[in-house]
Amino acid sequence: MTEDQLADKMPITKKAGIISVMILAFFAYFISESLLRQAAVSNINPQSVNVEGLLTKLPSSMRDSVNQKIETTRLRNAIRDAKTDADKVQAISSLADFTKEPGQRDWLYASVLKEYPSQPESYRAYAAFLMSNGAVQVSVQDYHRFVSLFDSMTAYNAWIAGMNKLILARVSLDDQIKFLSPLLDETPSYRDYSRLYQEIAKIATSLKKEDLAEQADSLANFCKGLPTIDETVKKRAEAAKAAAQQKGK
Amino acid sequence: MWGVTLLTLMKMREPSFYIIAAIGVLMGYCVSEVEPLSNQAATDSIISQIVVSESGGASLLTSSFFAFAMSIILAIFVGATEIPRDIDSGMIMIILSKPIKKWEYMLGKYLGILLLCLVFFFGVEAIIYLAHLLKTHEFYGPVLMLRQFYLVMAFLPLVAVTVAFSCFFGDLASMIVTSMYILFSLALGFIPIMVAVLPRGVAAGVESYIFILYYFFPNYVFYFQTFKLIGIVPISLAVYSVAIATIFLSIGAIKLQNRDLSANG
């Protein structure tokens, strides 16, 4: 190294000085950046931002995975924020139906069966394992026991979910009719049940069980004169509102 | 140091500066009546989250944004080429033969380029205000006018970045690297806003990595937000600008100190 080069080399004190200035500058940078970021973020109203619009600008491969991530996070947040058991079960069930992670769906539904076995909203978990061959199984008897816990209005969704599961799983018609048969012993209360009776009639006709088909047909016809579940709920809400108003007066 | 600053300001006498100044004047006149950014951004867009503030405050005029963009181009063209050209022409050795230190030379260049950009920006802003007066027979409100000049703070880091890069590369490479770096800075500036609008936890896991990358770039988006002229935001903005400028100038000074400054070096 020549003498000139040595003279040109930065002295240690000067180097230390610059580094001290830089440390101070970094300190000021991080503090001011944090304040400015908070000011910028505090103006934001996430609800007013069209996230879907932003995502459409991404390449399709990336968009799908980001969408999946956003929806999964939203559902996980819904589970965390749920205040009642009903909300929690609904949120877990929605995540179970949405998730694409292998084994996650069964794990989530199994946790519902374990922790909320008597919750009306747990019907999706029962339906998921109805007559399945996996580690967790729900027999037709278990399902009937679950449905019997609730009134006709609450049980309707459970019946529909169970029936759909058996149809999708291509379970034999005998098993399907075995699953739906308790309905034949009940007097329906809502028009919505006609769908279930029509299904029984259809299966019974296929199985050449005319007696059952006739009985299911007559119950389906009986249902047509009944109010729907929606109408009943609406009427009850209106009655409750009127009663509250009367009480207020 | 002031001698170097004055030498840099001599650029204003060059025909290229007159040309860019003429373009600036013309553009300032044309865009003077464009609505403020806050009125233009779609209400459900990310930009609107920055430029619209529910708590009030003065917003940025779109015309000022154009003036700023033009000044960025000027800063890159002049800032990224001054030091490399001085090295190539041997001018730096002549200057450094005087009783002036390398860091003083660099600081002089920085101040010169900064003043050049400010003269240009103030000039275009003046044209914008005059054009508005001519077209509408009304002045802009004083608060609104003052807000536009807060953009001046953005030039501190911007010019420091261009000068710092020019200490590392030749003039063309320096221009390209600086342009890319500023473009990245503008894009990455939206990261905190994006993280805030996405559902809580979506970015969990990658958030820290994204923010590490984010901290390597100055956030120019902060200068565009709507804020009150007196308060914590403008003070933080001033500290932020000075801090970034100091960091980049220090990096530039270290490089310049250790660099071979001969023309064929």
Q: What is the pLDDT averaged over residues B198-205?
A: 69
Å from A72 to nearest chain B CA?
8
pLDDT per position as a tens digit, A21-32: 889 999 999 999
Please identify which residue in the block is written with the tokens 């009427």. A235
Which uninterrupted H or E stretch holds B8?
A: helix B2-9
Do the beta carbons of residue B250 and residue B264 sit within 8 Å? no
Residue keyed to tokens 């979910």: A161
Restricting to B residues 41-100, those with a Cβ less than 8 Å away from any Cβ of A are 42-46, 48-50, 52-55
At residue B162, does pLDDT exceed 70? yes
Chain B residues whose beta carbon lies within 8 Å of the beta carbon of residue A50: 42, 44-45
Bridge partner residues of B227 (DSSP): B58
Is residue A197 within 8 Å of A223, Cβ to Cβ? yes
Decide if pLDDT at A98 tops 70.
yes
What does the pLDDT read at residue A69?
78
Model confidence at B55, pLDDT cuts 50, 70, 90, reads: low
pLDDT at B40: 62
pLDDT attached to residue B263: 62
pLDDT, average across residues A229-235 = 90
* Interface of chain A toward chain B, CB-CB under 8 angstroms: 8-10, 14-15, 18, 21-22, 24-26, 28-29, 31-33, 35-37, 39-41, 43-46, 48-51, 53-54, 69-70, 73-74, 76-77
Label residue A6 by pLDDT band (50, 70, 90): very low
For residue A132, pLDDT over 80 is answered with yes
Task: Please state the rounded mean pLDDT for residues B188-202.
Answer: 77
CB contact under 8 A, A43 and B52: yes
**Residue B46: C-alpha distances to residues A58, B187, B189, B191 (Å):** 15, 12, 11, 10
Q: Rg of chain A over CA atoms, in angstroms?
A: 31
Q: Tens digits of per-residue pLDDT, A161-194? A: 999 999 998 988 899 989 998 988 888 888 999 9
| Cα torsion through A190, A191, A193, A194, rounded to 10 | 150
The vertex-B167 CA angle with B166 and B171, nearest 5°, equals: 35
pLDDT digits (tens, 9 = 90+) for B106-129: 899 999 999 999 999 998 888 888
Share of chain A above pLDDT 90, in %: 29
Q: What is the pLDDT of residue A8?
A: 52
- Residue B144 and residue B153: Cα distance in Å, rounded? 16
Residues 212-241, chain B, touching A (beta carbon < 8 A): 215, 219, 221-222, 225-227, 232-233, 236-237, 239-240
The whole-angstrom separation of Cα B14 and Cα A111 is 76
Query: How many CA atoms, within 13 angstroms, populate the side-chain half-sphere of residue B7?
Result: 17
- Chain centroid offset of residue A247 CA: 37
User: DSSP of B71-125, one letter per residue?
Assistant: HHHHHHHHHTTHHHHHHHHTHHHHHHTSS--HHHHHHHHHHHHHHHHHHHHHHHH
User: How far is CA B117 from its chain centroid?
Assistant: 8
**pLDDT for B175 beyond 70:** yes
Q: Can you give the pLDDT at residue A1? A: 44
Inter-chain touch A40–B221, beta carbons under 8 Å: yes
| CB proximity B257 to A under 8 Å | yes
Is B187 touching A (CB cutoff 8 A)? no
Cβ-based contacts of B55 with chain A (< 8 Å): 43
Check whether A4 has a pLDDT greater than 60: no
Crossing angle of helices A194-206/A210-223, nearest 10°?
A: 160
- Residue B65 and residue B51: Cα distance in Å, rounded? 12
Closest chain B residue by Cα to residue A17: B250
Number of residues written out for chain A: 249
Q: Which residues contact B188 (CB under 8 A, 6 or more apart)?
A: B213, B214, B217, B219
Cross-chain residue pair B197–A53, CB shorter than 8 Å: no
* B27 to chain A, closest Cα gap in Å: 30
CA dist A166 → A40, A95, A159 (Å): 53, 22, 11
CB contact under 8 A, A74 and B232: no
- Given this model, what pLDDT does residue B158 score? 93
Lowest mean pLDDT segment, chosen from A8-17, A69-78, B23-32: A8-17
pLDDT of residue A126: 92
Interatomic CA distance for residues B145 and B165, integer angstroms: 33
**pLDDT at position A158:** 92
Q: How far from A154 is each of A66, A85, A101, A145, A235, CA to CA, in Å?
A: 36, 16, 31, 14, 16
Query: Is the separation of the CB atoms in B236 and A39 below 8 Å?
Result: yes
Is A43:B55 a contact under the CB 8 Å cutoff? Answer: yes
Return the half-sphere exposure (C-beta side, CA atoms, 13 A cut-off) of residue B19. 4
Q: Is the pLDDT of residue B166 over 80?
A: yes
- In terms of CA atoms, which chain B residue is nearest residue A69? B202
- Which amino acid does the sequence have at B139? F
Distance in Å, alpha carbon of A103 to nearest chain B alpha carbon: 21
Interface test with A, best of B53, B193, B216 (most A CBs within 10 A): B193
What whole-number distance in Å separates Cα of residue B166 and Cα of residue B81?
7
Mutate to test the interface with B, among A49, A56, A62 (most CBs of B within 10 A): A49
Q: How many Å lie between the alpha carbon of B63 and the closest alpha carbon of chain A?
A: 22
The helix/strand/coil state of B169 is coil
In chain A, residues with a C-beta closer than 8 Å to the C-beta of B227 are 39
Mean pLDDT of chain B: 83
- Closest CB to A70 among B199, B215, B239: B199
Residues in chain B: 265
How confident is residue B258, by pLDDT bands cut at 50, 70 and 90?
A: confident
Instruction: Tell me B141's DSSP state.
Output: P
Residues of B in contact with A33 (CB under 8 A): 215, 219, 240
pLDDT digits over A40-55, tens only?
887 676 666 666 666 6
Q: Is the ipTM of this complex over 0.95?
A: no
Give the number of other Cβ atoms within 10 Å of residue B50's Cβ: 25
Looking up tokens 């609107």 gives B48
Q: Which residues does chain B have within 8 Å of residue A51's beta carbon, measured at their own beta carbons?
A: 197-198
Distance from CA of A57 to the nearest CA of B (A): 12
Nearest Cα neighbor of B118 from B164, B161, B169, B153 is B153
Quickly state the pLDDT bin for B56 (edges 50, 70, 90): low
> Cα separations (Å) of B129 from A13, A170, B22, B144, B224?
50, 76, 16, 11, 19
Rounded mean pLDDT of chain A?
85
Nearest CA distance, A183 vs chain B (angstrom):
44
Tokens of A131: 């007559």
> Between B208 and B239, where is the model more confident?
B239
